[in-house]
Amino acid sequence: MVRMLPLPWREAPMKKIEFDGYLLVYQADDSEGRWKGSYAILKDRAEITRGSLPLSAHSEDEAVGEILAAARRQTSLAIAA
């Protein structure tokens, strides 16, 4: 289950998504002509991991999908370990 969470302020650059019991805090940016993303994954208010990655996205929706996929890979690796 993926649930978008509203942020308490309007112009915050970071966004949040809940998925599989984790909280993904991310930012997607195309200011330099290419999409890139930064994220942190939290579980019970503790940071599990963070990262940044170049994206092949052409829109913000595609960028969010790529960041969420990367986060799911990270959490599945943590569960398998």
pLDDT computed for residue 73 by the predictor: 93
Question: What is the DSSP code (8-state) at residue 56?
Answer: -
Q: Supply φ then ψ for residue 30, to 5 degrees.
A: -120, 30
CA distance 49 to 28: 17
Q: The pTM is what?
A: 0.77
Rg of the chain over Cα atoms, rounded to whole angstroms, equals 13
Q: What is the pLDDT of residues 51-70, one digit of tens each?
A: 999 999 999 999 999 999 99
